[in-house]
């Protein structure tokens, strides 16, 4: 089957398979309900860049260029894996893909498990024609490796979508809260390692918004993954998303108990970089602005991924999405200029952050930049513009 041969998805919601109907619910809830984490923040508010009143660089010389998965990017930004499988998702994905090509940023797709069960929804994921020159990431729930999905099925997904990599998402809390969730996570690390050894494209592992602890970050790189998206807490909470799907009030209160679950994004980045000084790290979880992108990279990420804000912009249309991306990249460029970072790698190498302690940022709290030469240098093996 080729992307152009996919049958159109039924437009009548009543005709959709259960898994597709669930995807439609997820889109609606993310767009219409308050699904932000409660009682936990990204942690970015605890930091401030050291302002360089004399940056000794020209704004026009500041470069946002980098590369990822062997392809050049005009900015260190990824449209995070979001959706697919429904008519509305098809339009959102195509809007995102076209924008990814225009702005030369990376593009992720929603969970592609449904493709294995209902190949007729291929057209809702197939976007390579719209973004031929940017990294395109297919996506599958890692737990599916314990549910009979093997390397051949993963390879089929990658081939159908002409993807540059396969993302495996980790979402044990979400699966535990879903009535139809898959919770057989035992022995999964070994299966991830086996897939990395057999699949011809890179494997990326991500959380969905509760963070990946440093010991697992190290274990995943040891298992052979090409990159880790730490996906910390402080953005969209998928326990809150599932809460809006649950009719039983007791189970809904169980879901609500996890609204503040997870490790804040800023902490997750710092801890991940400490244990993986040369690993490729993606920061996501509440990335909403260019300053957030700059701060994530200064703390140790190689690029940043955004989901919720991009989903809402894409649903409104091309013009709104273009404006959202332009706002992020323009803000990022100015933040880099005022922090003294000539390129993306310079955010980690040259810029400095101070940590606010008791609401006050003091000189003794400098965390990043040239003053701390002992800090590990990120690998940047496939993310150019950084420290060699």
Residue 365: predicted pLDDT:
57
**Stated pTM of the model:** 0.90
CA angle at 187 for the pair 237 and 19, rounded to the nearest 5°: 45
Pick from 83, 154, 34: nearest CA to 314: 83
Which CATH architecture fits 19-45+71-339? Alpha-Beta Barrel (3.20)
Q: Which region, left, alpha or beta, applies to residue 69 given φ > 0 means left and ψ of -120 to 50 means alpha?
A: left
Could you give the CA distance from residue 28 to residue 196 in angstroms, rounded to a whole number?
A: 34
Per residue in 328-383, pLDDT (tens digit) is: 999 999 999 999 999 999 999 999 999 887 555 544 456 654 433 334 444 444 54
C-alpha distances in Å from residue 137, one per residue of 38, 101, 226? 29, 14, 12
Residue 17: predicted pLDDT:
65
Residue 96: predicted pLDDT:
98
Residue 367: predicted pLDDT:
62
Q: Hey, what are 54's tokens?
A: 């004399």
Asked if residue 196 lies in contact with residue 218, where contact means CB atoms within 8 angstroms, the answer is: no
Residues 6+ apart with CB under 8 A from 301: 230, 269, 273, 281, 282, 283
User: Which parts of the chain register pLDDT below 70?
Assistant: 1-17, 358-388
Residue 366: predicted pLDDT:
61
Residue 165: predicted pLDDT:
98
Q: Hey, what are 97's tokens?
A: 């893909």
CA angle at 156 for the pair 195 and 10, rounded to the nearest 5°: 130
Residue 360: predicted pLDDT:
53
């Amino acid at each position: 089957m080729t992307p152009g041969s996919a049958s159109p998805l039924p437009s009548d919601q009543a005709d959709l398979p259960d898994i597709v109907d669930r995807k439609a619910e997820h889109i609606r809830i993310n767009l219409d309900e308050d699904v932000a984490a409660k009682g936990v923040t990204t942690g970015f508010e605890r930091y401030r860049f050291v302002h360089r009143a004399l940056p000794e660089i020209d704004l026009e010389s500041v470069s946002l260029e980098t590369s990822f998965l062997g392809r050049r990017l005009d900015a260190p930004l990824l449209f995070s894996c979001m959706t697919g499988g429904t008519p509305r998702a098809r339009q959102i994905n195509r809007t995102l893909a076209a924008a990814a090509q225009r702005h030369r940023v990376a593009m992720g797709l929603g969970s592609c498990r449904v493709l294995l069960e209902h190949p007729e929804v291929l057209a809702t994921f197939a976007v390579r024609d719209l973004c031929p020159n940017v990294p395109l990431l297919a996506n599958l729930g890692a737990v599916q490796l314990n549910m009979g999905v093997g390397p051949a099925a993963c390879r089929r997904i990658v081939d159908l979508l002409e993807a540059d990599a396969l993302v495996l998402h980790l979402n044990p809390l979400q699966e535990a809260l879903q009535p139809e969730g898959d919770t057989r996570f035992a022995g999964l690390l070994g299966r991830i390692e086996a897939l990395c050894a057999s699949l011809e494209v890179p494997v990326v592992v991500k959380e969905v918004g509760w963070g990946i602890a440093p010991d697992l970050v190290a274990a995943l790189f040891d298992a052979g993954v090409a990159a880790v998206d730490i996906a910390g807490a402080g953005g969209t909470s998928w326990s809150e998303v599932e809460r809006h799907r649950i009719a039983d009030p007791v189970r809904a209160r169980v879901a609500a108990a996890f609204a503040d679950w997870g490790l804040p994004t800023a902490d997750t980045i710092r801890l991940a970089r400490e244990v993986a000084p040369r690993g490729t790290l993606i920061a996501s979880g509440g990335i909403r602005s260019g300053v957030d992108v700059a701060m994530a990279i200064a703390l140790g990420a190689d690029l940043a991924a955004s989901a919720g804000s991009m989903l809402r912009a894409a649903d409104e249309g091309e013009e709104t999405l273009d404006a959202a991306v332009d706002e992020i990249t323009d803000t990022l460029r100015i933040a880099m200029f005022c922090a003294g970072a000539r390129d993306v790698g310079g955010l980690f190498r040259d810029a400095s952050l101070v940590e606010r302690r008791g609401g006050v940022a003091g000189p003794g709290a400098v965390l990043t930049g040239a003053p701390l030469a002992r800090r590990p240098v990120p690998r940047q093996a496939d993310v150019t513009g950084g420290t060699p």
